[in-house]
Amino acid sequence: MKWVLLTFALLTSGSANALDEKYKFCALTGWFHGFKDTFTADLAQMKISDPLDSTCQAVWRDAFSRAEAFSKNGKVTDKTDGELLGEGFQFKSRINSFILKGAGY
């Protein structure tokens, strides 16, 4: 229940997204791999234009570490954690909606 309330608060806060659009999917791929959600991570990875870009790799590692820490303590430690959580929730929600719609639900 805390997860749902935290996510709702983050999505409705109206704060600007500070994730750099160019590296957004690098961050999301790392974030979902940090949670061991390889299905969603693989989908996010498909949107990365240059996976060998050193900045993309650094963003991936940072997001991965943040997700691992969050999965252990359940705490948002800074603005970036909150943005990753919100972006990740939106991305995963869109995927789930698409899958359910395609399945006729």
Over the chain (105 residues), the average pLDDT of each successive run of 10 is: 41 47 94 97 94 94 96 93 95 95 91
Residue 30's pLDDT is what?
Answer: 97
Annotated domain spans of the chain: 19-102
Residue 59's pLDDT is what?
Answer: 96
DSSP assignment of 48-105: -S-TT-HHHHHHHHHHHHHHHHHHHH----SHHHHHHHHHHHHHHHHHHHHHHHHTT-
Residue 12's pLDDT is what?
Answer: 35
Residue 66's pLDDT is what?
Answer: 96
pTM value is: 0.78
